[in-house]
């Protein structure tokens, strides 16, 4: 009879591991699907509806979509969330890379990373524009171009 408690303990331990493992796989699968959903929503709005345009039309679309989705699906489809989806799709245009990332990172981590990627791209775009057009930005200073180059090298 002394072997039964240790067998029961081992059995309980094994079953706990099975349950915990299944929970983890389920959480990962749900995270991947939600992240891909947000990416597809952002891509659909950006490419198919806005066609790269922003301005007033984009604001109207996001407001309308948010109101309709909130009525149909409840909380979670605010204008802010739809803007996150848009920025997310713009920051990660390659779905294959995104799929790999979302298996390792949660939506909240990817959303934060989205803004890092967006800011880095904006900085690179600004830097390139500044290099090309520095005489137009700083026309009256002889030392300005050298200072601009020093600043850009630090980016």
The residue that leads in pLDDT, 77 or 50, is: 77
Q: What is the pLDDT of residues 136-154, one digit of tens each?
A: 544 444 444 444 455 445 4
Residue 130 pLDDT greater than 70, yes or no: no
* For residue 29, pLDDT beyond 80: yes
* CA–CA gap between residue 21 and residue 65 (Å, rounded): 37
pLDDT reported for residue 108: 86
Average pLDDT, integer, range 23-44: 93
Query: At residue 122, what are phi and psi to the nearest 5 degrees?
Result: -65, -40
From residue 142, how far is each of 29, 53, 126, 145 by CA, in Å?
58, 38, 21, 7
Angle at 95 between CA 89 and CA 99, to 5 degrees: 110
Percent of the chain at pLDDT > 90 equals 37
Q: Please report the DSSP string for the chain in residue order.
A: -THHHHHHHHHHHHHHHHHHHHHHHHHHHHHHHHHHHHHHHHHIIIIIIITT--HHHHHHHHHHHHHHHHHHH-TT--HHHHHHHHHHHHH---HHHHHHHHHHS-HHHHHHHHHHHHHHHHHHHHHHHHHHHHHHHSTT-SSHHHHHHHHHHH-
């Amino acid at each position: 009879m002394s072997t039964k408690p240790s067998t029961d303990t081992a059995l309980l331990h094994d079953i706990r591991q099975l349950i915990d493992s299944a929970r983890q796989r389920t959480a990962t699968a749900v995270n991947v699907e939600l992240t891909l959903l947000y990416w597809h929503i952002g891509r659909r709005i950006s490419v198919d509806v806005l066609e790269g345009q922003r301005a007033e039309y984009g604001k109207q679309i996001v407001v309308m979509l948010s109101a309709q989705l909130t009525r149909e699906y409840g909380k979670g489809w605010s204008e802010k969330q739809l803007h996150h989806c848009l920025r997310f799709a713009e920051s990660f245009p390659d779905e294959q890379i995104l799929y790999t990332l979302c298996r390792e990172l949660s939506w909240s981590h990817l959303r934060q990373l989205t803004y890092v990627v967006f800011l880095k791209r904006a900085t690179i775009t600004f830097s390139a524009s500044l290099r090309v057009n520095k005489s137009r930005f700083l026309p009256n200073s002889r030392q300005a171009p050298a200072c601009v180059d020093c600043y850009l090298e630090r980016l």
